[in-house]
C-alpha cells in the first residue's frame, strides 16, 4: 500500500540549544524512518524562536541540515509582540503556550493574548497549547479576533467535545491528537513513570474512548508531539534494555522533563489500529496528509511517497531508532503495518530499516 509523503505538524527538534536530545539531522532521519517527509517544528528552543532574526537563523539551518522538509513555527512572547507582523509574513504559523510545559514560552492573561491575536496579521493559523480553561480562552480569542486557531494535542473528553461544539458553531478551529493519547492511559503512566509523563498528561479510559469517537469527525490531524528527552534527563539509570520500564530501575528525579518521542511509532500505531478495523487507511491519509497540508498550506512534494506492508507484524521497533534520545514509550508493542520504503523527491531515502541519506 502506498501513502503520499506524510506530514507531522507537531515535533520538537531541539535545535538550537538542546542538540544533545535531538537535532535537525537525527530528527528528520527519525521522520523518514516513520514515513514523514514534512515536519512542522516547535519554537520552544533555547533561545526560543520569538524574534524574526532567531527564527530566520534556525529556519536556514533547518533547510540545510534536514533530510526532509522542515518548517519552523514562530513563538509568541509578551516581550516580543512587535516581531509578530514580520514573523507572520515568513513563518507557517504562530505557536502560543497557554499552560506550563517544557521550555521557556508561556503567555498569561487577557491583555498580552489580545495583543498577540491582533498582531498576528495573517490568515495563517495560531497553534495553541491550551489545556482545561485555557481552551475556552483560546476559542474566545479566535472568535473575537476572527483568527484561525489549531488546538495542539487534545487529550480530554470535555475538551474534544468543546471543540466539536465550536466547529458546529462555525468557528475557525482545527485540532490534532497524539498517538500516546490515543493508545495509552493513566494506567500506563503509573507503570512507566517519567517515560509516560508528558503534557497534557495521559488521560482516563473515558478520555481515550472519547478521542476515538471523534477520530472520523472532530479530529483533523494526528501529530506525534515528538518531544525527545534523554533517558538520563528522565532519571533512568542503567541501560539494561528490558528493565527500562521497571520502576526499580529508576532513580527518580525531582522534575524530569515532560515529553516522549513519537516520530517513528506514529504510523505503525495507526496502521495497527487500521488492521484491527478501528479506523480506515483512507482516514490515516486524511489525518497525516490531506488535513495537515490544508491547515498549514504546505507545499507539494513531487515524486514523494511511503510504501507500507500493511500485513506485516513485528515487535516495535523493528530496527534501531533514529531519534537521538533512542527510546520509545511503545518499545515492545506488537505492530501490524511496516514502513518498507520511503521515496523523497525522486530518491529512495529509507529502505530495509535504514535511512539511506543519513
Ligand atoms: C513538549 C517538549 O518537551 O517540548 N513536552 C510535552 O510534554 N509535550 C512541550 C509541549 O509540547 O508542550
Ligand atoms: Zn504542548
Ligand atoms: Zn509539543
Ligand atoms: Zn521499520
The ligand with the least distance to the CA atom of 134 is 2
The ligand with the least distance to the CA atom of 30 is 4
The stretches in the chain having pLDDT less than 50 are: 240-249
CA nearest 151: which of 132, 130, 133? 130
Measure the N-to-C terminal CA separation of the chain; round to a whole number of Å.
Answer: 25
Q: Output the 3-class SS for 200-220.
A: CCCCCHHHHHHHHHCCCCCCC
Q: Which of 225, 262, 263, 327 to mutate to test the pocket of ligand 1 (most atoms within 8 A of CB)?
A: 225
Helical segments of the chain, H only: 24-33, 52-65, 84-90, 110-119, 133-145, 157-168, 179-183, 186-192, 205-213, 231-234, 266-275, 281-285, 291-296
50 and 69 Cβ atoms separated by less than 8 Å: no
The ligand with the least distance to the CA atom of 337 is 4
Q: pTM (2 decimals)?
A: 0.95
CA angle at 286 for the pair 150 and 8, rounded to the nearest 5°: 55
Given this model, what pLDDT does residue 255 score? 83
The one-character DSSP state at 45 is S
The ligand with the least distance to the CA atom of 271 is 4
Given this model, what pLDDT does residue 244 score? 47
Atom of ligand 1 nearest to the CA of 97: 12
Atom of ligand 1 nearest to the CA of 229: 3
Residues enclosing ligand 1, CB less than 6 A? Answer: 12, 44, 101-103, 129, 198-199, 225, 227, 257-259
Expressed in angstroms and rounded, the spacing between residue 83 Cα and the centre of ligand 3 is: 22
The one-character DSSP state at 226 is B
| Cα radius of gyration (the chain) | 19
Given this model, what pLDDT does residue 286 score? 98
Q: Return d(Cα 356, Cα 66) in angstroms, integer.
A: 13
Q: Which of 14, 103, 179 to mutate to test the pocket of ligand 1 (most atoms within 8 A of CB)?
A: 103
Given this model, what pLDDT does residue 238 score? 55
Q: Whose CA is nearest to atom 12 of ligand 1?
A: 101
Atom of ligand 1 nearest to the CA of 228: 3
Atom of ligand 1 nearest to the CA of 227: 3
Given this model, what pLDDT does residue 47 score? 96
Given this model, what pLDDT does residue 265 score? 98
Given this model, what pLDDT does residue 121 score? 86
Atom of ligand 1 nearest to the CA of 197: 7
Please state, rounded to an integer, the average pLDDT across all residues of the chain: 95
Expressed in angstroms and rounded, the spacing between residue 343 Cα and the centre of ligand 4 is: 14
Amino acid at each position: 500500500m502506498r501513502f503520499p509523503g506524510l506530514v507531522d505538524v507537531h515535533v520538537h527538534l531541539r535545535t538550537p540549544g538542546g542538540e544533545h536530545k535531538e537535532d535537525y539531522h537525527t530528527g528528520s532521519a527519525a521522520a523518514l524512518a516513520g514515513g514523514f517527509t514534512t515536519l512542522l517544528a516547535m519554537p520552544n528552543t533555547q533561545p526560543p524562536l520569538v524574534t524574526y532574526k532567531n527564527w530566520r537563523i534556525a529556519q536556514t539551518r533547518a533547510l540545510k541540515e534536514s533530510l526532509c522538509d522542515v518548517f519552523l513555527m514562530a513563538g509568541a512572547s509578551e516581550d516580543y509582540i512587535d516581531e509578530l507582523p514580520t514573523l507572520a509574513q515568513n513563518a507557517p504559523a504562530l505557536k502560543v503556550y497557554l499552560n506550563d510545559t517544557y521550555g521557556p514560552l508561556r503567555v498569561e492573561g487577557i491583555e498580552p493574548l489580545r495583543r498577540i491575536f491582533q498582531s498576528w496579521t495573517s490568515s495563517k493559523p495560531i497553534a495553541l497549547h491550551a489545556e482545561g480553561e485555557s481552551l475556552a480562552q483560546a476559542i474566545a480569542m479566535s472568535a473575537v479576533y476572527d483568527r484561525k486557531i489549531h488546538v495542539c494535542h487534545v487529550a480530554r473528553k470535555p475538551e474534544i467535545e468543546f471543540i466539536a461544539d465550536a466547529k458546529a458553531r462555525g468557528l475557525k478551529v482545527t485540532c490534532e491528537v497524539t498517538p500516546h493519547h490515543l493508545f495509552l492511559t493513566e494506567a500506563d503512566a503509573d507503570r512507566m513513570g517519567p517515560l509516560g509523563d508528558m503534557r497534557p498528561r495521559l488521560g482516563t479510559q473515558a478520555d481515550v474512548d472519547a478521542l476515538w469517537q471523534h477520530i472520523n469527525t472532530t479530529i483533523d490531524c494526528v501529530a506525534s508531539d515528538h518531544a525527545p528527552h534523554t533517558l538520563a534527563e528522565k532519571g533512568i539509570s542503567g541501560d539494561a534494555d528490558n528493565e527500562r520500564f521497571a520502576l526499580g530501575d529508576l532513580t527518580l528525579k525531582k522534575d524530569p522533563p515532560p515529553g516522549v518521542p513519537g516520530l517513528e511509532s506514529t504510523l505503525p500505531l495507526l496502521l495497527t489500529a487500521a488492521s484491527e478495523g478501528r479506523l480506515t487507511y483512507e482516514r490515516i491519509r486524511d489525518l497525516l496528509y490531506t488535513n495537515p497540508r490544508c491547515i498549514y498550506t504546505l507545499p507539494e512534494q513531487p515524486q514523494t511517497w511511503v510504501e507500507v506492508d500493511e500485513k506485516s507484524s513485528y515487535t516495535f521497533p523493528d530496527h534501531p531508532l533514529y531519534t537521538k534520545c533512542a527510546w520509545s514509550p511503545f518499545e515492545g508493542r506488537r505492530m501490524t503495518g511496516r514502513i518498507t520504503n520511503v521515496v523523497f523527491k525522486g530518491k529512495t531515502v529509507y529502505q530495509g530499516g535504514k535511512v539511506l541519506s543519513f
